[in-house]
Amino acid sequence: DGGITQSPKYLFRKEGQNVTLSCEQNLNHDAMYWYRQDPGQGLRLIYYSQIVNDFQKGDIAEGYSVSREKKESFPLTVTSAQKNPTAFYLCASSMDRVGHQPQHFGDGTRLSIL
Amino acid sequence: SQQGEEDPQALSIQEGENATMNCSYKTSINNLQWYRQNSGRGLVHLILIRSNEREKHSGRLRVTLDTSKKSSSLLITASRAADTASYFCAFLNQAGTALIFGKGTTLSVSS
C-alpha cells in the first residue's frame, strides 16, 4: 500500500540535544511538508520541499532544519535552538504544487522534553 | 492573519443527526480543502472544492463554497460514531506557497 511513514511514533529529547524525525513516502510525490500541531491548534508549516535538493522555510522554521536528498525522504531535525519543541509533528506529501492537490499525511511523531 | 476560522469550535450530536461546520477565510482562493483528523492520527483529505464550484458531494459529505462571503460549509449527513474527529479547512496562502489550516471543529457523535 502506498503511503507516508513517520518514525518514531514517540520521541523524547533532552536539553541541548538535536533529534531527527523520519518521514518516508512511496507515493512518488514531488512535494513534501512538515507541520507542527499544538494542542487545540491547527497546523503550522515548518518547512516544505517541492523537488529534490530544494526546500523552503515555512512560518515557524526557526530551530528546525531539513534535507531532501531523495524524493522519498524528508527528515526533520529539531535542534537545541528550538526552545519549545513539545508538539505533534506531521509530515505530508502531495503530487505537485502546493495547494492544488490534496495532501497525504503520516500518522505523526509526538515529541516531548525529558 | 491569513488563518481560516472554523465554527463552531466543538459540536456534540447524536448518531443519525446531521453535523454542519463552517469555515471563513480572508483571502482570494483557488480552492478550499477539508480534512479530518482522528485523535492522535494524521489528517485525511476529505474533499477539495474549486473556486468556480458552489457545491460538491462525496458520500455523506456535502461541501458548499460562497466566494462572495469568503466562507465554506461541510455537512455530514446521518452521522455515525465513527465520524467523531476534528475537521479542518485549508486553503492556499496569498503567496501561493503553503496551505493555511484553521484551528478545526471537534465533532463528537454519541450513540
pLDDT score for B50: 93
Q: Is the pLDDT of residue A101 over 90?
A: no
CA distances from B6 to A39, B9, B33 (A): 16, 7, 13
Note which residues in 31-60 of chain A have CB less than 8 A from chain B: 33, 35, 40-45, 48, 56, 58-59
Mean pLDDT of A9-38: 95
What letter represents residue A24's amino acid? E
Please give the radius of gyration of chain A, using alpha carbons only, rounded to the nearest integer: 13
pLDDT at A33: 95
* Cross-chain Cβ contact A99/B48 below 8 Å: no
Q: Indicate whether A8 pLDDT > 70.
A: yes
Q: What is the pLDDT of residue B94?
A: 76
Distance CA B92, CA A59 (A): 13
Which stretches in chain B have pLDDT values below 50?
A: none
pLDDT value, residue A16: 87
